[in-house]
Structure 1
């Protein structure tokens, strides 16, 4: 799937990294995992911004899913932090996760390593101790109309790079931006000095 997308020019399954010149404060220093990209537009999840006002346990309680039922599930619930996935549909939850978990008619495979599920069933599975081995929970997403993302990339708003599963799922929020840049051999200081130059 990834090869076909690369050949077609679509970027699903890749990281979008905000340039230092990004004018939209909502996306300053963000790394976005692009879940879908086609002629119809694009959709992605910000992976390096937390929503500190709510915990995963709070969310389970609000959705009346219930408490974790095993010690292992309890540890998993404590580890998952809620992210700000983007400014669109901020009340809706999205879970990026490893491909060891799949729900028929609900899970979207994005790459060989990452899937997306946006139903309560994945949250319930995590609370019950049989969810995915790796998961990132986000409220909201980032969306682009047809041609909008391409225009923003051409205007030096974004860089793209191959996704890295460790950067995607680990808890080191403060370093995700710099690590994503380093994946393509770029340092932020160097980018700042080059911005606006052809």
Structure 2
């Protein structure tokens, strides 16, 4: 089940994806896809879904030494923090719902127990160091300046099951129209 919607969205909302414009000059967000976890009058935050860390989760958490899964760089803010998004039924109650079947955080002790007992499907969870954040009205200003493309209605299974290096391009292609053209822009237009 895959569904993507793009409209001239005036105000993004929690659960939307932010895709960087193809020629965004900020290397922190070059061809990134950010899951927007909160967006309100106080500010916004989310996690970069397609920027792998050089480390694996079991290399940063001693408690889960047998959980060899990718660790992502969620953004440039507070990279000394660890976060996770998931679709794990037993953790839903303690997590914060972002969208249908997609949650942020939860009871960390319960998560550790589930990992240690082999009860976690690696295709239903992602771990991040740091996050991406915007102050009050900052994200809206960036959207108005065409820094971000907003995608709505991307199913969580698509997020978890698409290779990180293909996510940005695949979503733009599925959005169609001019976005399909953006998906094929060269990283450096001078080399075209």
Q: Report TM bin, short chain.
A: 0.7 to 0.9
- The one of 41, 44, 53 equivalent to 1:42 is 44
1:176 and 2:178 are equivalent in the alignment: no
1:85 and 2:74 are equivalent in the alignment: yes
Relative to structure 1, is the Cα distance of residues 123 and 81 closer, same or farther in structure 2, using a 3 angstrom cutoff? farther
Q: Which residue of 2 aligns with 1:120?
A: 108
- The one of 146, 150, 153 equivalent to 1:160 is 150
Indicate if the aligned counterparts of 2:170 and 2:183 stay in contact, CA closer than 8 A: no
In the superposition, the TM-score normalised over structure 2's length comes to 0.79
3-state SS of 1:177 partner: helix
Q: 1-side partners of 2:36 and 2:175: how far apart?
A: 17
Relative to structure 1, is the Cα distance of residues 66 and 22 closer, same or farther in structure 2, using a 3 angstrom cutoff? closer
Q: 2-side partners of 1:82 and 1:171: how far apart?
A: 15
Relative to structure 1, is the Cα distance of residues 164 and 58 closer, same or farther in structure 2, using a 3 angstrom cutoff? same
Q: 1-side partners of 2:107 and 2:60: how far apart?
A: 13
Q: Which residue of 2 aligns with 1:108?
A: 96
Structure 2: any 5+ residue segments left out of the alignment? 1-8, 187-192
Question: Offset at 1:101?
Answer: 3.2
Q: 2-side partners of 1:108 and 1:190: how far apart?
A: 32
Question: Offset at 1:168?
Answer: 1.4
In the superposition, the TM-score normalised over structure 1's length comes to 0.77
- Number of positions where the alignment pairs a residue of Structure 1 with one of Structure 2: 173
Indicate if the aligned counterparts of 1:87 and 1:140 stay in contact, CA closer than 8 A: yes
Indicate if the aligned counterparts of 2:91 and 2:106 stay in contact, CA closer than 8 A: no
Runs of 4+ in 1 over 6 A off after TM superposition: none
Question: Offset at 1:99?
Answer: 4.5
Q: Which residue of 2 aligns with 1:55?
A: 56
Over the residues paired in the alignment, what is the CA RMSD in angstroms?
Answer: 2.5
Deviation per residue, 1:150-174 (Å, 9 max, x gap)? 0000101000102232331125121
- The one of 172, 179, 187 equivalent to 2:180 is 187
Question: Offset at 1:67?
Answer: 3.7
Indicate if the aligned counterparts of 1:167 and 1:180 stay in contact, CA closer than 8 A: no
- The one of 135, 141, 149 equivalent to 1:151 is 141
Structure 1: any 5+ residue segments left out of the alignment? 1-6, 69-76, 194-198
Deviates more, 1:160-169 or 1:30-39: 160-169
